[in-house]
Amino acid sequence: MIAGEHLFDAKSCIATRGVSLGYGEPAPQDVTGFARATRAQVTAAGRKDLSEEPADYSMKKMENLSAIDLFCGCGGISSGLRRAGLDVIAGLDMWEDALETYANNFRKSLTIKADLAQLSTRAFMREVGLRKGELFLLAGGPPCQGFSKNVPRKNRFLEDPRNLLVNSFLDYAEALRPQVVLMENVAEFKNGFDQAFTEEIENRLGGLGYHVHHAVLTAHEYGVPQRRRRAFFLATKEKITQPFPRATHGDAAAAPSLFPLAPFVTVWNAIGDLPSLKHGESYENKPYRRKAFSEFQTRVRGSNDLIMNHVARKLQATQYARLSSIEPGQGIKNLPHHLRPKGGYSGAYGRLTKEMIAPTITRWVFHPGSGRYGHPVDLRLITMREAARLQGFPDDFVFAGTYIQQAHQIGNAVPPLLVEVITGHLLRQMRS
């Protein structure tokens, strides 16, 4: 559980402070809220009460770089924004397991559990103490299962409730009128349903005076040690010449570039400094045993001293036998006949290699039959700390919950390092 002294319940909040959270009449009884600070504390820190008048926001000064993360999950986007220098003042989601992690890692931010489709924009703005136009950046990754290629095509449809939450996100953008809107989703979102949602985003935000840009970015081209394609939508009030950064990493030998590229970050350059484990072993709340030997490792360590979430799941006998029977780089098709399952993904029961870029880390990273999640040296699955490294999370970001809950949080997160690169590039464009 989250430390109780830092939290409040939405229903008691209404009783003591007279704030209606706008869930309709009467308010649903299953809605609760978590926070790391009261609104009085937030206001005392310099945030103003809600006003109908838009704030006078000067982009020339580039002050008060505040951000809000809707559908925040465990905090992948928020982590990237914070590392780029923004002040993340609030994160909102319905996912309680992930919110426990979020609250523990963003202790100066409001952590709110609420259904965005039911929470009124006016009540939310009152709660966080913001006026229209005062926020610098609104970010979010609306649930993507309705678009994901992991969902059979016959089960994807435009009116999927998970897809319609995109409209709720746009409602908040319209109410808050931030200087910047950043939205992330699966790559299929951009062109899915004959680009219906891309057109909706362009029309709604463009109609508000924003310059709207979108692109599909590949994470490993920006220093994340993972092949992960995601669609990003960026809307700015000021016109910028290059909304998204050029690739920072590549294979210089295969494709020489006019712009110097760092080499892709491999699996071993990402996780090779972490302690070796047998399946079923753990190494938590203990100092590093080895020195960092790559720039990536140095970066994710930062000033952190202790390793957390480094637990190797105890495998079932058959699972361990399968993993033990193959070499790094092999998978289900290489299993001995007597150990081969009747069916499975092409990458199932796969082992990583030191030299490769990791495949996409999904919420199923805890299961050997769901992807190439076998360690390249040890006979075990990668730990949640190693999975977090492959997502670009810093080592001081600690995940709460059970092993499987942590896997879901990490697999569903947006790589913080990718968000940091996008945001840093944006700030340099706007300052120039």
Q: Which residues are catalytic?
A: 144
User: How many Å apart are CA 414 and CA 232, to the nearest integer?
Assistant: 11
Please, are residues 313 and 366 in contact by the beta-carbon 8 Å criterion? yes
Q: Taking the CB of residue 235, how many other CB atoms lie within 10 A of it?
A: 26
Please, are residues 325 and 335 in contact by the beta-carbon 8 Å criterion? yes
Q: Closest Cα partner for 399 from 298, 324, 310, 303?
A: 310
Give the count of alpha carbons within 13 A of 353, CB side only. Answer: 9
User: How many Å apart are CA 44 and CA 192, to the nearest integer?
Assistant: 45
Q: Closest Cα partner for 245 from 213, 206, 269?
A: 213
Tokens standing for 226?
């993972």
**What is the SS3 assignment for 139?**
strand
C-alpha Rg value of the chain to the nearest Å: 22
Q: Closest Cα partner for 77 from 137, 135, 140, 128?
A: 140
User: How many Å apart are CA 125 and CA 388, to the nearest integer?
Assistant: 32
**Contacts (Cβ under 8 Å, ≥6 apart) of 352:** 267, 328, 329, 358, 372, 373, 374, 375, 376, 382
User: How many Å apart are CA 46 and CA 87, to the nearest integer?
Assistant: 13
